[in-house]
Chains A and B, each alone.
Chain A
Amino acid sequence: MLSVKEQAGANVLFRAARVVDPVEGIDATLDVLVENGTIAALGEGLDAGDLRIVDAAGLVLAPAFVDPHVHLRTPGREDEETIASGTAAAAAGGYCAILAMPNTDPVVDSAATLGSLVEAARRDAQVAVGFLAAITRGQAGEELTEMGRLADAGAVGFTDDGRPVVSAGLLRRALQYASTTGRPLALHCEEPSLSRGGHVHEGAVAAELGFAAYPSIGESVMVERDVALASYEDEPVHLMHLSAAESVAALRRAREAGVRASGEVTPHHLVLTDEAVRTLDPNVKMNPPLRAERDRVALLDALRDGTIEAVATDHAPHARQEKDVPFEAAPFGVTGLETAFAVLYTELVEPGLLPLGTLLERMSAGPARIFGLERPRVAAGARADLVLLDLAGRTHVSEDGFRSLSANSWLLGRTLHGRVAMTLAAGAVAFDGTTVPA
């Protein structure tokens, strides 16, 4: 289902890496030998022959990351991101696979459009790309897309991301029909009569600054509805970019009741609250909005205990001129592919709020499981989808350092702890920062 350009398989020996694969139950110092893009052996004192040796002493070698939520802006806004630039950014962020959202221009709602993207990815993608197709034609929320044909053309799942499926009846039909394709629905949970185009979480900050407010319940009542439908139809649903404590509680209840519901959370919702909006910086404007501290804590708890299985960047590139406007006029969305690991390592792992192994699992195996993708793993015989992490290194976030064509990051100017040193995706070296001084 995923597409990537043909590249020569890597041949490299990682010498004395701290190998961490939480699913395989490994946390040990080992040599890892990659031959022709496949992990040939794990062990001690492996013979490199004449292969390239990467001295990985003090570095972490882990399954590379999988991002279930990326906007590649192609087709339509290739000035903001392309398949080539977006996958280069992903590789620099440690990802071996990303899932692209269909809210492009045109919307990915036909097998023809999807087919052209798959072809382009086979030509340009440095990491594996899966495409989600729309649930409804034009994402207009009225008629179902031809999900069978779209699945045959390679759709990994279906979503109207950017918009909710407002009609409960239509979502029910989508759940019923998608079941014949075996591909999950990924849902943007927003009740428009409650969010009303609000820019900022309804709370003290919006009240004081005067922003049109989008309350937590604008998300959570839709989560409640969607898990109720999923329960009734006994079909899986994936709930995207959750932001509110009430949504987390609804997801947790549903899972405990046996509903096949999964969730994802973004780095910004795990780290920031609506207090950040006081800066009026358009790079902290996103949908759903940053919420209150109690929401942030609930999201972190859910990520830790597995109620939320995946970290998703919701990487949403925007052109400079579109963000260089007053907050209210700016579009929603921030980039995230190149900073996700480092910011979460800095803000959550280093302070002891989240174990490293849990973060690695939620950034790789978790999202792969939700979408039925092959799980990146550090095991002999597996394809080399690996990330080499320098936890003592530093990531300096600056406009000219991005591989993404856009620079609308909320972390501009920050120096983060932890650095991606190397990424192997689909067996090939997709990013090599081992020669860059930390």
Chain B
Amino acid sequence: MSIHLVRDDLRPPGPPARRHLLSIADLTRDDVERLLGTAHVFEGSLTRNVKKLPTLKGYLVVNLFYESSTRTSSSFELAAKRLSADTLTIKSAGSSVDKGESLKDTAVTIGAYDPDVIVMRHPQIGAPQLVARVTAAHVVNAGDGKHQHPTQALLDLYTLQQELGRLEGLHVAIVGDVLHSRVARSLVQAFDLVGIHCTLVGPPALLPRDLRAEATSDIRAIADADVVYVLRMQNERMEAGANYVPSLREYTERWGITPERLRPGQKVMHPGPMNRGVEIDPRVADSADSLVEAQVRSGLVVRMAVLYDVLTGGPIGVRNLAAAEVA
């Protein structure tokens, strides 16, 4: 018998599909390659004295952040500005959200300004989908609960491509609190799309049951990896008494990434913010093999590419257009 997925039946026929970036699961390998290619074009523009491109002049990009964020919100804001879009940043603290306004009403209110893109971060899974449903904007997910953080995964792919020269055939070990990590969920799907071999490593209770990926609790499994991707121990997501691990000290002893656990030349990545001395040894964080700063730089150009992509509908003439504008 058939299992009915309700959505197709549920949704009335809507306007033509708008381009969103809600989940890596919605992308094809071609989409990923196009986005990385666009990011590379934009990177070229940033070496010039005048770094601003007129590409998105007249467009309005709203950043709607219901969770604290430094690098994601700043890089989206800067990405929009580098492309000459108008930006409006709304944070939940000090807004009508504080007064108990529902997400739907906030979205409809912002929608009344006809934003072209809403970049949003929210602690609940599915929040960007709701906003996409009730506004006419293109929605870019900047993190929803433990679900997805697609631009982080894309910037990580871009970083790997730039730093290691290829994606296909690489082996990446993702180490730490996979259970609570939206970054890990997006990465697993993104790695699968581009042919990167991925191993998840962490304490048993922090590895989600039945996630379709290779997983082990043995830290020695990182030895074979080209890159060790370190996840933050997310204290704020650890419910009291959950006992995922007995103590952070013991976590560090058994799964912390130290110079002793790494091969020379083995690259290390981290989505930030880092807990130095917990999941990552400061010597590793500051070493020449750390790609953390490169990740942040990639974040800007990849988010420029994402904004460009959702608004212009894709690759057609991207190189020519961008090149002409740069010139």
Chain A residues in the interface with B (C-beta under 8 A): 196, 202-204, 206-213, 215, 271-273, 275-276, 278-281, 283-284, 293, 321, 324-329, 347-348, 351, 353, 410-414
Contact = CB atoms under 8 A, between A and B. Distances in A.
Interface in B1-45: 1, 3-7, 9-12, 25
Interface residues of B, number: 35
A327 B3 contact: no
Contact of B124 (A283, A293, A321, A328): A328
B212 interface: yes
B164 interface: no
13 contacts: A203-B209, A204-B211, A210-B146, A210-B148, A278-B5, A283-B6, A324-B104, A328-B145, A329-B103, A348-B1, A410-B6, A412-B6, A413-B10
A208 B9 contact: no
Contact of B1 (A202, A329, A347, A411): A347
> Sorted from nearest, which 7 A-B pairs have the closest CB atoms?
A210-B146, A279-B7, A207-B208, A207-B211, A280-B126, A326-B124, A328-B124
B210 interface: yes
Interface string B212-235: 100000000000000000000000
A210 B102 contact: no
B6 A273 contact: no
B208 A413 contact: no
Most buried by B among A273, A278, A327: A327
A59 B47 CA distance: 78
Contact of A326 (B1, B125, B185): B125
Given A196-B239, A281-B7, 9 more contacts: A207-B208, A208-B211, A212-B146, A272-B3, A280-B129, A326-B127, A328-B124, A329-B103, A351-B1
A206 B179 CA distance: 10
Contacts, number: 106
A80 to B, nearest CB: 17
Most buried by B among A209, A213, A410: A209
B270 interface: no
A271 B9 contact: no
B90 interface: no
A191 B144 CA distance: 28
B210 A325 contact: no
Interface string B101-130: 011100000000000000000101111011
Nearest to A397: B9
B182 interface: yes
Interface of B: 1, 3-7, 9-12, 25, 102-104, 122, 124-127, 129-130, 144-148, 182, 185, 208-212, 239, 242
Contacts of A293: 3
A203 B102 contact: no
Contacts of A215: 209
Nearest to A212: B146
A343 to B, nearest CB: 10
Contacts of A326: 103, 122, 124-127, 129-130, 144
Contacts of A280: 125-126, 129
B212 A204 contact: yes
A213 B6 contact: no
Nearest to B146: A210
Contacts of B182: 210
Contact of B6 (A209, A284, A329): A284
Contact of A412 (B10, B124, B146): B10
A208 B104 contact: no
A284 B3 CA distance: 13
Nearest to B237: A212
A101 B167 CA distance: 57
B124 A327 contact: yes
A271 B25 CA distance: 25
Most buried by A among B7, B126, B129: B126
Contacts of A212: 146
Contacts of B239: 196
A103 to B, nearest CB: 24
Contact of B210 (A204, A411, A414): A204
B9 A412 contact: yes
Contacts of A276: 3-6
B191 to A, nearest CB: 14
B185 A414 contact: no
A367 to B, nearest CB: 24
Nearest to A281: B6
A209 B212 contact: no
Contacts of B25: 208
A327 B5 contact: no
Contacts of B122: 326
Nearest to A283: B6
